[in-house]
């Protein structure tokens, strides 16, 4: 890219009489011209990332930063009287749900910056994850028409590379949109848009359509097959054109990474092409697939492990169903001859109870299967994939997640980045490990860091005031819990802990309480009733506290609307404390925990997911670990009785009673339903996630934070320790591990 030329173009852009949208498109396409002019030598061996989610967030600032012209661009346009921050209104590309989608985006960023050839494949949804509003404290969902106002100047439509995807009842055209990912190499995220008659276009309309009915399930299957088949189809076509029909060498040039099971149809399509079009035998094709595919598991929640009814797949993809069933037989035969036990074969089977287990397809065919944090991988080895692990121990490995410091430090916390520049020089920007050289005992550094944190808190407060119309308490501790809303993440437990603190404040039991603000951000899946009830409960608590003169100068709760990547950038930089309180064993890794740590938040958390590794790096003494461990949770199974437990602990009962005693208006019984999730067997056992069991330890941990925060130097030291010990959680480290251990690129 030619920097001078781009700057010259910027200088020549006339800002007068142009709308912000026009300028956005003009500046963006000037950058795109430079990016696309970069001639790349196609590397021999490439890695391909298959994911239904990519949470790219806003591309503008990220790309200008990557091009190394963000500061200069700001200056040039400021002189013309145009503030680039206007583009903070540009909608996020929110083609994902949460951690899994954001991880994909971080990995693309790291791979490009390190110069690894990693190409992403996915779906170009017309509507991203819904926009969230609160009406009367309840979540209301609106379609996220992300292309409507600002368009998508960061992608190029490639009609010349479209490909047809066939279903029994329709043929769909997959049209690629390529988004260059700029770094040391220019990689590409290729998202396919579905085009064709009638129902065809529905395939790329929505992210995660509700799949609680047959129609929804069919649509999900179509989506998954659609992009997987388009990607595999193109790569196989290109290979044949270049190297002919001998597929022996295919794995030398391609390595596929399945981001969870959503793209497992890629396996079936690959086998279908090789057997039906190119006449290989299934065992031979499977052997080539085994050298090509790898799989990352991102959750052990049974309800999130995909299984598709054989009959549904047969209905719209008969050849694919046939391949999967034949693969099932092939795998069984293989296991039989290798002396696997019957129970093991049952556990690993591709067809189970009339359904295809997509995880089992992935595990069978993949060369390497990985978990995303040490504890998660251990659980995969011991529980979920124990039979596979027993017979092929080398197949399973851990790659702890990471986040890109370019977005989650350089971009969202310029002040902290400057601090590192001043004290370390610029070297840390290429090698994050260098930040661990900051001396956390140096009082001057501590004072500087404290100032930065205060400034980021001020910025966050200003942002929240603009977005939500709520003024945050000043001189307060900012505690953030930002993540998807799910029962296992236990936002509900935090809600009850806040109520406990509220009552203690009212009773005068906490005379020296440091003012505290709890900041929540989360979307609840549209069909997830309980998650929505938890949002409502938290909003009601926020209101109760805000209207109570006795406490509202010391305690505040704000649940921000439409939490997304851009909101996250503000919150992770401006928080003192990171809440990571999942039931031990349930959070595969978490990545928000890493982003907050990188910006100097201390963790109040359970020994779960990557929290364990976070406190290993930053020191347990610099964080607030509480609650039951995995072993303790396992031991409680079948023994724990939440009804008796609440009776024994009046401090718990006092707060759970608020769900049913009229503290809050509850005309339609939503809070009542939340209470029943604690005390009755519903779709899960009573208090399945041990909310009550860990509640008082959480309150204690929060009060300890509150106490220790008073000693500013001590607390800031803990924060700086966390920030400067976060290098391990860079996605650069994670991507290097994938590249070296799995992809061999």
- DSSP summary character for residue 98: S
If binding means CB under 6 A, how many residues of this protein chain bind ligand 26V?
19
Q: Which of residues 314-353 bind ligand 26V (CB under 6 A)?
A: none
Neighbour-count burial for 140-150, b at 16+ CB within 10 Å, e otherwise: eeeebebbeeb
Marked catalytic residue, from 173, 583, 591, 724:
591
Tell me the closest approach of the beta carbon of residue 92 to ligand 26V, in angstroms.
17
Binding mask 351-380 for ligand 26V (x = CB under 6 A): ---------------------x--------
**CA–CA separation, 68 and 74 (whole Å):** 12
Q: Which of residues 80-109 bind ligand 26V (CB under 6 A)?
A: 98-100, 103
- Binding segment (CB under 6 A) for ligand 26V, from list 30-38, 156-164, 584-592, 678-686: 584-592
Choose between 207 and 286: whose C-beta lies nearer to ligand 26V. 207
281: left (phi over 0), alpha (psi -120 to 50) or beta: beta
Is residue 442 a contact partner of residue 523, using CB atoms and an 8 Å limit? no
Tell me the closest approach of the beta carbon of residue 417 to ligand 26V, in angstroms.
24
692: left (phi over 0), alpha (psi -120 to 50) or beta: alpha
Is residue 623 a contact partner of residue 705, using CB atoms and an 8 Å limit? no
541 touches ligand 26V (CB under 6 A): no
298 touches ligand 26V (CB under 6 A): yes
DSSP bridge pairs for 259: 296
212 touches ligand 26V (CB under 6 A): no
Marked catalytic residue, from 102, 124, 298, 530:
298
- DSSP summary character for residue 353: T
CA dihedral sign of residues 459, 461, 464, 469: negative
Choose between 99 and 605: whose C-beta lies nearer to ligand 26V. 99
Tell me the closest approach of the beta carbon of residue 95 to ligand 26V, in angstroms.
14
Binding mask 238-267 for ligand 26V (x = CB under 6 A): ----------------------x-------
Choose between 100 and 604: whose C-beta lies nearer to ligand 26V. 100
734 touches ligand 26V (CB under 6 A): no
732 touches ligand 26V (CB under 6 A): no
Marked catalytic residue, from 484, 490, 523, 670:
484
Catalytic residue list contains 595: yes
Catalytic residue list contains 483: yes
Compute how many other C-beta atoms are within 10 angstroms of the C-beta atom of residue 632: 14
590 touches ligand 26V (CB under 6 A): yes
401 touches ligand 26V (CB under 6 A): yes
Which candidate, 556, 484, 487, 486, places its Cα nearest to that of 517? 556
301 touches ligand 26V (CB under 6 A): yes
Q: Which residue has the tokens 């709760």?
A: 557
Q: Which residues contact 601 (CB under 8 A, 6 or more apart)?
A: 480, 572, 575, 576, 577, 578, 719, 722
SS3 for 678?
Answer: helix
Choose between 30 and 588: whose C-beta lies nearer to ligand 26V. 588
Q: Which secondary-structure segment (H or E) carries 466? A: helix 443-468
The counts of H helices and E strands in the chain are: 30, 23
Which candidate, 635, 611, 742, places its Cα nearest to that of 292? 742
Q: Which residue has the tokens 């998508």?
A: 152
Distance between terminal CA atoms of the chain?
A: 25
Choose between 649 and 736: whose C-beta lies nearer to ligand 26V. 736
Tell me the closest approach of the beta carbon of residue 401 to ligand 26V, in angstroms.
5
Marked catalytic residue, from 254, 381, 483, 717:
483
Choose between 270 and 738: whose C-beta lies nearer to ligand 26V. 738
Is residue 100 a contact partner of residue 53, using CB atoms and an 8 Å limit? yes
Catalytic residue list contains 489: yes
Residue nearest to ligand 26V (CB): 99
605 touches ligand 26V (CB under 6 A): no
Q: From the list 588, 618, 633, 705, which residue makes contact with ligand 26V (rule: CB under 6 A)?
A: 588
Marked catalytic residue, from 124, 489, 490, 721:
489
Tell me the closest approach of the beta carbon of residue 81 to ligand 26V, in angstroms.
43
Q: From the list 4, 212, 303, 637, which residue makes contact with ligand 26V (rule: CB under 6 A)?
A: 303
Q: Which residue has the tokens 């009046």?
A: 650
Q: Which residues contact 418 (CB under 8 A, 6 or more apart)?
A: none
Distance of CA 371 to the CA centre of its chain: 14
422 touches ligand 26V (CB under 6 A): no
Which candidate, 589, 621, 613, places its Cα nearest to that of 726? 613
213 touches ligand 26V (CB under 6 A): no
Which candidate, 316, 68, 24, places its Cα nearest to that of 169? 316
Tell me the closest approach of the beta carbon of residue 211 to ligand 26V, in angstroms.
8
402 touches ligand 26V (CB under 6 A): no
With 0-12 / 13-18 / 19 or more C-beta atoms within 10 angstroms meaning exposed / middle / buried, residue 488 is middle
Q: Which secondary-structure segment (H or E) carries 398? A: strand 396-398
Which candidate, 586, 580, 624, places its Cα nearest to that of 480? 580
Q: Which of residues 468-487 bind ligand 26V (CB under 6 A)?
A: 486
Q: Which of residues 439-468 bind ligand 26V (CB under 6 A)?
A: none
587 touches ligand 26V (CB under 6 A): yes
Is residue 154 a contact partner of residue 59, using CB atoms and an 8 Å limit? yes
735 touches ligand 26V (CB under 6 A): no
Active site residues: 298, 483-484, 489, 591, 595
Residues forming contacts to ligand 26V in the complex (CB under 6 A) are 98-100, 103, 260, 298-299, 301, 303-304, 372, 401, 486, 587-591, 609
């Amino acid at each position: 890219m030619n920097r001078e030329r781009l700057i010259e173009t910027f200088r020549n852009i006339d800002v007068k009489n142009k709308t912000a949208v026009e300028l956005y498109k003009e500046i963006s396409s000037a950058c795109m011209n430079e990016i696309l002019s970069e001639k790349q030598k196609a590397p021999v061996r490439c890695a391909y990332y298959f994911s239904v989610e990519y949470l790219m967030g806003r591309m503008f600032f990220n790309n200008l930063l990557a091009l190394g012209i963000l500061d200069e661009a700001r200056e040039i346009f400021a002189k013309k009287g145009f503030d680039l921050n206007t583009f903070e209104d540009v909608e996020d590309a929110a083609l994902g749900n949460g951690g899994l989608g954001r991880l994909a985006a971080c990995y693309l960023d790291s791979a490009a910056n390190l110069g690894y050839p990693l190409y992403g494949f996915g779906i170009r949804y017309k509507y991203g994850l819904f926009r969230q509003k609160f009406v009367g404290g309840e979540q209301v969902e609106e379609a996220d028409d992300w292309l409507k106002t600002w368009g998508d100047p960061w992608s190029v439509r490639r009609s010349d590379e479209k490909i047809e995807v066939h279903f029994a009842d329709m043929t769909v055209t997959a049209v690629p949109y390529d988004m260059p990912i700029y770094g040391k190499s220019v990689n590409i995220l290729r998202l396919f848009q579905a085009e064709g008659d009638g129902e065809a276009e529905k395939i790329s309309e929505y992210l995660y359509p509700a799949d609680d009915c047959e129609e929804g399930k069919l649509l999900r299957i179509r989506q998954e097959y659609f992009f997987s088949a388009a990607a595999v189809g193109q790569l196989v076509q290109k290979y044949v054109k270049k190297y002919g029909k001998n597929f022996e060498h295919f794995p030398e040039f391609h390595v596929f990474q399945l981001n969870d099971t959503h793209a497992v149809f890629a396996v079936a399509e690959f086998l279908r092409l090789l057997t039906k079009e190119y006449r290989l035998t299934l065992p031979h094709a499977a052997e080539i697939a085994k050298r090509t595919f790898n799989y990352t598991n991102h959750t052990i929640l049974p309800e999130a492990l995909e299984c598709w009814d054989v009959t549904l797949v047969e209905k719209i993809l008969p050849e694919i169903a046939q391949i999967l069933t034949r693969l099932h037989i092939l795998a069984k035969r293989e296991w039989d001859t290798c002396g696997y036990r019957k129970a093991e074969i049952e556990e690993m089977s591709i067809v189970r109870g009339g359904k295809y287990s997509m995880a089992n397809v992935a595990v069978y065919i993949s060369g390497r299967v990985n978990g995303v944090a040490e504890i998660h991988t251990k659980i995969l080895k011991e529980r979920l994939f124990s039979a596979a692990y027993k017979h092929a121990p080398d197949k399973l490995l851990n790659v702890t997640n990471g986040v890109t410091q370019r977005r989650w430090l350089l971009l969202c916390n310029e002040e902290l980045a400057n601090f590192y520049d001043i004290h370390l020089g610029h070297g840390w920007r290429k090698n994050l490990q260098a930040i661990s050289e900051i001396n956390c005992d140096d009082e001057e550094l501590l004072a500087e860091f404290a100032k930065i944190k205060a400034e980021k808190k001020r910025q966050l407060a200003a942002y929240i005031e603009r977005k939500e119309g709520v003024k945050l308490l000043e001189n307060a501790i900012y505690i953030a819990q930002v993540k998807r809303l799910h029962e296992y993440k236990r936002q509900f437990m935090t809600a009850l802990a806040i109520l406990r603190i509220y009552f203690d404040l009212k009773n005068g039991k906490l005379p020296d309480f440091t003012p505290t603000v709890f900041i929540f951000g989360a979307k609840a899946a549209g069909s997830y009733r309980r998650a929505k009830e938890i949002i409502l409960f938290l909003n009601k608590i926020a209101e109760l506290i805000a209207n109570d003169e006795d406490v509202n100068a010391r305690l505040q709760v704000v649940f921000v609307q439409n939490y997304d990547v851009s909101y996250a950038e503000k919150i992770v930089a401006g928080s003192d404390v990171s809440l990571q309180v999942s039931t031990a064993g349930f959070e595969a890794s978490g990545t928000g925990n890493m982003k907050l740590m990188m910006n100097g938040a201390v963790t109040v958390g359970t020994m779960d997911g990557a929290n364990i590794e976070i406190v290993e790096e930053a020191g347990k003494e610099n964080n607030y670990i509480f609650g039951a461990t995995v072993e303790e949770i396992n031991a409680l199974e079948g023994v724990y009785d939440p009804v008796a437990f609440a009776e024994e602990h009046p401090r718990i009962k006092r707060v759970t009673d608020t769900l049913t005693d009229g503290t809050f208006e509850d005309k339609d019984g939503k809070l009542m339903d939340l209470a029943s999730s604690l005390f009755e067997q519903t779709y899960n056992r009573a208090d399945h996630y041990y909310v009550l069991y860990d509640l008082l330890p959480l309150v204690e941990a929060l009060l300890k934070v509150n106490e220790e925060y008073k000693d500013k130097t001590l607390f800031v030291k803990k924060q700086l320790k966390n920030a400067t010990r976060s290098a391990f959680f860079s996605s650069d480290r994670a991507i290097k591990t994938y590249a070296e251990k799995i992809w061999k690129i």
